[in-house]
Amino acid sequence: MGVEKDIEKFMDKVKEKNHGENEFHQAVEEVVETLMPYINKHPRYKQAKILDRMTEPERVLMFRVPWIDDNGEVQINRGFRIEMNSALGPYKGGLRFHPSVNLSILKFLAFEQVFKNSLTQLPLGGGKGGSDFDPKGKSDNEVMRFCQSFMTELYRHIGPNTDVPAGDIGVGGREIGYLFGQYKRLKNEFAGVLTGKGLNWGGSLIRPEATGYGSTYMAVEMLKTKKESLKDKTVAISGSGNVAQYTTEKVMQLGGKVVTLSDSSGMIHDPNGIDDDKLKYVMELKNIKRGRIKEYAEKFNVTYEAGKRPWNVACDVAFPSATQNEISKEDAQALVDNGCMCVSEGANMPTTPEGVVVFQDAKILYAPGKAANAGGVATSGLEMSQNSMRIAWSREEVDEKLRNIMVNIHAACKKHGKEGDYTNYVKGANIAGFVKVADSMLDQGVV
């Protein structure tokens, strides 16, 4: 049977078993397409049904999250934790609070997390969780009551050696604080059970910066293979949250000019480039005032386009850093047509499968999220190590470890993704991430 048939047969089974979970199908298909030829050459993985096992979560938790809003009205949300794979270590991955959250989205994220965490070379299994709760427009007290209710169920399933959640969309320092406080109260235990904690109570320096810095380091490594750098490059970034902000900061430090940011309502285009003062404004706007990116356009007198994404703006390098499927085939084509030479995915699965084909056919430098944004979870792994040792590394120490991890991920992708003189980073990340997990699963028997 040909490899195409194997892929089709495998995907038919996944689709039948996980009916209607489109994002999960998409994430699995991207992996299976590049892995099947490799697995066919290594029958031990096939005999042990490693891929079948990796696409079935070890455990899925779904629970009711009741809370009372500021008007005294009872609200009900749904909470989730997908414990996907623990071959390499405790389940590890973020929590997403967004109204779109459902089983399919969290399973796709948990599935990708397993490969990503393996790529970091740290002892981290993979998981993901969250809720359909929408933090937008909620008061701090409402967010706190929600987080306390969410943790009142979650606490019995997690622990520093079992499952260690962190942030993702809609979950930042504020939410991690409330979640940690409730865990500590319920367990009577001060433990490294979450990452992204505040610096005063067990957090790591550089964790807030890590995802954005990491995806910038990945772009630097990719550009180096073409004897290029970020200096004087025009850069398009989507999103304006944690990942987008620190990507902007690092790109600026390395001499690039960031000309776009966005949020779910629209995008700004600042042709002169974002500078330190403007970035400070964005951080305050988004992290403290919790306002809209439109206000940037009003403040600095630049263009705002409602409902638009940044991909029609000419750029040399793009960092999609908002959400899944934010680059369509047409967006990818516009980027390539306008001269974009490098795409480093800060977000998880931001490019549609058709968009990925456009990037790869054009042979531009393209690193998928599971490689490019691994710096976030890697630094979470470093936070866990510091918690276990009860020490705190300096900013320089953590940044250097993060940079090394990204350099090594780039090298692993290059090694496993070599196709003549082109590097297929998707294939490289999938194979490099897979082998360590698969071999560990073989060692550990049928579990």
Catalytic residues: 128
Q: Dump the DSSP string for 259-305.
A: EEEEETTEEEE-TT---HHHHHHHHHHHHTS---THHHHHHHT-EEE
3-state DSSP assignment of residue 165 = strand
Q: Could you tell which of ligand NDP, ligand 2IT, none binds residue 239, using a CB distance below 5 to 8 A set by kind?
A: ligand NDP
Q: Could you tell which of ligand NDP, ligand 2IT, none binds residue 242, using a CB distance below 5 to 8 A set by kind?
A: ligand NDP
Among 304, 210, 209, smallest CA distance to 261 is for: 304
Q: Judged by CB, which is closer to ligand NDP: 164, or 169?
A: 169
Return the range that interacts with ligand NDP (CB under 6 A); candidates 65-73, 267-275, 319-327, 406-414: 319-327
Task: Determine the Cα–Cα distance for residues 42 and 47; give it in Å rounded to an integer.
Answer: 9
Count, residues in the chain: 447
Rounded to 5°, angle at Cα 87 from 348 and 219: 30
* Pairing status of strand 317-319 against strand 342-344: parallel
The values of phi and psi at residue 391, to 5°, are -135, 170
Select the residue interacting with ligand NDP from 89, 167, 256, 355 (CB under 6 A).
Answer: 167
322 binds ligand NDP (CB under 6 A): yes
Per-residue tokens: 299: 């403040």
**DSSP classification of residue 348:** S
Select the residue interacting with ligand NDP from 30, 142, 168, 209 (CB under 6 A).
Answer: 168
- Summarize as ranges the residues that interact with ligand 2IT (CB under 6 A): 92-94, 113, 116, 166, 168, 195, 348, 376-377, 380
328 binds ligand NDP (CB under 6 A): no
Q: How far is the CB of 211 from ligand NDP (least distance, A)?
A: 4
- Give the amino acid at 115: F
Footprint on residues 205-264 left by ligand NDP (CB under 6 A): 211, 239-244, 263-264
Q: Could you tell which of ligand 2IT, ligand NDP, none binds residue 92, using a CB distance below 5 to 8 A set by kind?
A: ligand 2IT
**Are the beta carbons of 368 and 426 closer than 8 angstroms?**
yes
Q: How far is the CB of 185 from ligand NDP (least distance, A)?
A: 25
Q: Which helix (H) or strand (E) holds 219?
A: helix 207-224
Select the residue interacting with ligand NDP from 127, 129, 170, 203 (CB under 6 A).
Answer: 170
Q: Dump the DSSP string for 50-72.
A: HHHHHTS-SEEEEEEEEEE-TTS
Return the range that interacts with ligand NDP (CB under 6 A); candidates 146-154, 321-329, 357-365, 436-444: 321-329
Q: How far is the CB of 145 from ligand NDP (least distance, A)?
A: 20
Q: How far is the CB of 115 from ligand NDP (least distance, A)?
A: 13
Task: Determine the Cα–Cα distance for residues 274 and 314; give it in Å rounded to an integer.
Answer: 16
Q: How far is the CB of 376 from ligand 2IT (least distance, A)?
A: 4
Question: Total residues at the site for ligand NDP (CB under 6 A)?
Answer: 23
Task: Determine the Cα–Cα distance for residues 351 and 331; give it in Å rounded to an integer.
Answer: 9
Residue with nearest beta carbon to ligand NDP = 241
Q: Judged by CB, which is closer to ligand 2IT: 236, or 382?
A: 382
* Pairing status of strand 422-423 against strand 163-166: unpaired
Q: How far is the CB of 314 from ligand 2IT (least distance, A)?
A: 29
**Are the beta carbons of 344 and 215 closer than 8 angstroms?**
yes
Binding site for ligand NDP (CB under 6 A): 167-170, 172, 211, 239-244, 263-265, 321-323, 346-348, 373, 376
